[in-house]
Amino acid sequence: MDSWTKQIVLPSDQPAISIKEQLTRWLVPRRIRGNFRMEHRILLNGTYQPTSTILQPGDTLTMTWLPNDFEVATSNYVTDDSQPVDVLFENDDLMVVNKIKGVKTHPNSPGEDGTMMNFAQAYLQAQGKAAYMVHRLDGDTTGALIIAKNPYVVPMLNQMLRDKTIRRTYLAWVRGAINEASGTITAAIGENPDDNRTRRVDGPNAVPAVTHWAKVHTVYQNTLVRLDLETGRTHQIRLHMQSIGHPLVGDPLYNPTDDYEGGLLLHAASIKIPLPFTNEVKSIGAPLPVSFPRNFK
């Protein structure tokens, strides 16, 4: 049976809190915390202790996860080493890679290859690990993409995304000169009954969506904007900018008459992420690809 074990030596500034409180702070899901307790799969300095036990600096916690802790325990992406993976950051639990333009984040059917998750699977195979998806970027979007290296950090990272403690910043070229320096778009995003490839502002089953934008500069009636997301809805940036009259350059879905031939100009420029099981917050930047113009001519 597969299992995953994590051993952590607590730091010198470890607060005097219980094992249960520490697991909660680490965003270990409640159901898994219960499994740890009932099946004695969390050890303090090599032996099981009640989860009410107070921790001390220098203590060693050892946690073991089993497949039944997860909805999806195994990673079954086909390995594909046809493209190198540009790793921007990695540790034992996750990596941030620089996504390639024109490549999907993940397969849509079993056995499919040629996606970032397939390339990551091949890269991690040499480490004896596997790739687990955390979030996605559209096919033509480039930049920073988080990939988990085990199943147990996936729910933790998903909770960080929901809590907005993972911050994502994008750069995009949009059509039109924007006069304001910055703004916030709060339009809810729902389904589009007329086209299931797209979304619609205030469409059916709409959910809240918040995008903050700031103008970088305007060149020939095209504006470079920096965008920070509070939510991560499908096509959020593309739809939100179109909704205020500034669709993204090269967007085939929300700006279909655009004559730019270089594809969608959207880049995930940076991610700020609290690293699981630590007090460290890491800021990771993704360099602009050659396909993303610095200026319009």
Residues in a beta bridge with 167: 272
The C-alpha angle with vertex 106 and arms to 202 and 192, in degrees rounded to 5, equals 20
Residues, the chain = 297
* CB count in 10 Å sphere of residue 240: 24
Query: How many CA atoms, within 13 angstroms, populate the side-chain half-sphere of residue 244?
Result: 21
Is residue 134 exposed (0-12), middle (13-18) or buried (19+ Cβ within 10 Å)?
A: buried
267, 286 Cβ separation under 8 angstroms:
yes
Is residue 74 exposed (0-12), middle (13-18) or buried (19+ Cβ within 10 Å)?
A: exposed
Please name the residue that has the structure tokens 């094992």. 19
Longest dimension (CA), the chain: 67
153 SS3 class: coil
Q: What are the Cα distances from residue 274, in Å, to 56, 80, 202, 236? A: 22, 30, 32, 23
What is d(CA 44, CA 242) in angstroms, rounded to the nearest whole number? 54
Q: List the 60-65 sheet strands across, edge first.
A: 4-9, 60-65, 42-44, 47-48
- Which positions are annotated as active-site residues? 138
Q: Which residues have a Cβ under 8 Å from the Cβ of 269 and sit 6 or more positions away?
A: 143, 144, 169, 170, 171, 226, 285, 286, 288
